[in-house]
Structure 1
Amino acid sequence: MQVALVHEWFNEVAGSEKCVGEFNTLYPDADIFALVDWLDDASRQSLLGGKQTQTSFIQRLPFARKHFRQYLPLFPIAIEQFNLDKYDLVLSSSHLVAKGALTHHGQLHVCYCHTPVRYAWDMYHDYLRGGNLQNSSIKSWLSRRTLHHLRLWDVLSSNRVDHFIANSHYIRKRIQKIYRREAHVIYPPVDTNRFSLVTNKDDYYLAFSRLVPYKRIDLIVQAFAHTKRKLVVVGNGPEMEKLRGMATPNIEFLGFQDDQRVAILMQQAKALVFAALEDFGIIPVEAQACGTPVICLNQGGTAETVLHGKTGIHFQEQSVAAIRQAVDEFEARQTQLLDAASISEFAQQFSVTRFRQDINQHIAQLLEQKI
């Protein structure tokens, strides 16, 4: 069986790229296609076993290395230029255009969908507002026109997929809403083995993510400001100075920390506080693998990956008051309900081993049905 793996781009090793890495482990002879590939040698070796990808014409366009996203209007036609005719199985890892690769009736195209295109659909107005594109300028008009055509192509290209796999039930519902297609849910792989159980916790809360607006670290900082509770914030990003301006002496900013230090901080934290609305959310699962409970939003992926009253505490909205109330509830209930060993055991259902087994079994069933 000849297999093709299709992904949008390789410019870093994040959650979606790790999924492709696991696909490559399952299908070591597969060929890999992407719009662009800027991986360094070390990342390529660890993620893809050193394998080279076949890239699109976007790779060769001026300034593509730093600004390839500016070529968004060309992405649909670029993904359609890959000739995948010889492959029996096409497995796409898609959050934008990878699912739009062209296949014929004799092939099986399975799409592992991280999300339908967020900034073209439910985050469309947030995207325009964040880019100051709500005015009547030419740039605004061009952006709106590009996203309008992307929405049309996005729905059209969803019909090219034979079977969708969603990375959470939250995304399954979005696939059904936007594409009118059913999807099978397989949670993405989390390297739970990297985060060993620690039962003795220190007296601090942890917030860990890129410091960008949608992560809502600002709400967490405000919720802890002017309290006696210690908050440790890990991560870098454009919001750093703004967040420091909100902080009081009980809040400490550590900036970027390497993987080893992050693991130690997660293991020793009283709880992780996580306010982002995520499609899945790997960081809360990593914290739970350490036996560390999570205080998080009861929406999106964290509504599924954190069990209220058992592995953490949910809050119902992204607000300072809701986070404060959830922290109060956590402190009142932690000795009664939250057991570190049980939390760590719960997190193992999101492991890399489980992901490989589920993907392998599901695709084998689809191939049998195809035959």
Structure 2
Amino acid sequence: MAGLIIHEWIERHGGSENVVDEMAAAFPDADIHCLWNNAPDRYPGRSVTESWLARTPLRKSKAAALPFMPATWAATRVSKADFVLISSHAFAHHAGGRQTPDGPERFVYVHTPARYLWAPELDVRGGNVIARAVAPSLRRIDRKRAQDGATFAANSDYIRLRMERSWGVEAEVIHPPVRVEYLQSVPSWADRLSAEDAYLFSTLPSEYVLGASRFVDYKRLDVAIRAGELAGLPVVLAGAGPQHAELQALADAATVPVIIMTRPSDELLFALYQAASLLVFAAVEDFGIMPVEAMALGTPVLVVAEGGASESVLALNGGVVVTSLDDASLRNGVTKALSVDMAPAQAAAGAEFGLETFRARLISWVTSSSVRT
């Protein structure tokens, strides 16, 4: 099948780009189209085209380009493709306009309906002056375009429900790919560290609570510190971002040692997962890749009930889901998580969330459309 893969914009790093990587692997003959491509060497040997926005200064500002995206996608020609596979977290699902009887079927994999429109309380971009001004009209357009006849999949049940509330459409759930096979191919990531990373790793305590993510407010890394204090365990925070100074102040005031590992390499992050007693992941995420990575490496996870991260923890029985972050709930959750037998979760992670599983589910979803229709 000669298809067309569509994605919002392509960057060198990003969770949604990792999904597009697997879409490209599943359908090697498909071309790719995006608003603009900031990683021109990401898909060698494949046709990757850009919209008119790529030839303007708007490509440097997603906020400024926002009002132009719906019309740009709606005007995108898709008629020459046998099928269209769309990766959407903003307006890419508008591509091609209304589904026509003689046009290619469109399959939309939704990371989330644009959060700055439909869940602004979870996305600081929703407070942007431009976003607030255009949000009412964009919501009307977005809902209408979502009902134009595409077939939808959501990356979690949490997002499936958001799509239902926001757009009034149904979707099946296909969890995003996690590099489980790669993570589990190395018995000890500590043995793969550079000399510098190996030294840093050697300075860590033998037991610790891990918090890992970008250092931004909604990631709630403060909860990892509090969990360590309640359990009497040291804490390691891994990442980087604008909240670094605030987290450093919390670390300095904590009743347990708190070590901040800034911008760890992939190998160091994986070693941190393997050595941690527990990963505390308190962010409300659409899915949450990091908890699956930790569980795949044998580390239990504590997550909050709201958001998609709870789905993977429950699917693998690889930790604890808490409904509240008050001290009593957090202390009880940490105690339970530390006692979880992780062998079954580690063994099941690949079959549930691995790359091959994602590709198989994706191909089945696309190729079985004739059965549904």
- After TM superposition, the score normalised by the length of structure 2 is 0.87
Q: Could you list the per-position Cα deviations for residues 176-221 of structure 1 after superposition, in whole angstroms to 9, with x for gaps in the alignment?
A: 111111111111110001222869x941111111111111112322
Q: Decide which of 39, 46, 65 is 1:51's aligned counterpart.
A: 46
Q: Decide whether the 8 Å contact of 1:219 with 1:319 is kept in 2.
A: no
The gaps in structure 2 that reach 5 residues or longer are 189-204
Residues 124, 217 of structure 1: alpha-carbon distance in 2 compared, 3 angstrom cutoff: closer
Q: Decide which of 255, 258, 272 is 2:262's aligned counterpart.
A: 255
Secondary structure at 1:112 match in 2? strand
2:156 is the counterpart of 1:164:
no
**Take 1:24 and 1:361, find their aligned partners in 2: how far apart are those partners?**
15
| Residue in structure 2 matched with residue 136 of structure 1 by the alignment | none
> Which range is displaced more, 170-179 or 302-311?
302-311
> Which range is displaced more, 189-198 or 253-262?
189-198
Please tell me the root mean square deviation across aligned C-alpha atoms, in Å.
2.5
Secondary structure at 1:344 match in 2? helix
The one-letter code of the counterpart of 2:278 is A
Q: Decide whether the 8 Å contact of 1:207 with 1:272 is kept in 2.
A: yes
2:109 is the counterpart of 1:112:
yes
**Take 2:259 and 2:321, find their aligned partners in 1: how far apart are those partners?**
24
| Residue in structure 2 matched with residue 155 of structure 1 by the alignment | 143
Secondary structure at 1:152 match in 2? helix
Secondary structure at 1:292 match in 2? coil
**Take 2:209 and 2:121, find their aligned partners in 1: how far apart are those partners?**
33
Residues 225, 148 of structure 1: alpha-carbon distance in 2 compared, 3 angstrom cutoff: same
Offset at residue 308 of structure 1 (A): 8.9
Calculate percent identity across the aligned residue pairs.
33
**Take 1:198 and 1:115, find their aligned partners in 2: how far apart are those partners?**
35
Residues 267, 286 of structure 1: alpha-carbon distance in 2 compared, 3 angstrom cutoff: same
Residues 2, 287 of structure 1: alpha-carbon distance in 2 compared, 3 angstrom cutoff: same
Q: Could you list the per-position Cα deviations for residues 307-342 of structure 1 after superposition, in whole angstroms to 9, with x for gaps in the alignment?
A: 2993101111355654334223334xx0xxx22321
Q: Could you list the per-position Cα deviations for residues 64-92 of structure 1 after superposition, in whole angstroms to 9, with x for gaps in the alignment?
A: 33x24421111112212321111120110
Alignment of 1:253-332 (within 5 A): 253-307=260-314, 310-319=317-326, 322-331=329-338
**Take 2:310 and 2:292, find their aligned partners in 1: how far apart are those partners?**
12
The gaps in structure 1 that reach 5 residues or longer are 134-139
Q: Could you list the per-position Cα deviations for residues 27-86 of structure 1 after superposition, in whole angstroms to 9, with x for gaps in the alignment?
A: 111111101110153xx1xxx345342111111112633x24421111112212321111
**Take 1:221 and 1:353, find their aligned partners in 2: how far apart are those partners?**
36
**Take 1:321 and 1:156, find their aligned partners in 2: how far apart are those partners?**
45
2:5 is the counterpart of 1:5:
yes
**Take 1:232 and 1:50, find their aligned partners in 2: how far apart are those partners?**
42
Alignment of 1:39-188 (within 5 A): 39=39, 41=41, 44=42, 48-62=43-57, 64-65=59-60, 67-102=61-96, 103-106=99-102, 107-123=104-120, 127=124, 131=127, 140=129, 142-188=130-176
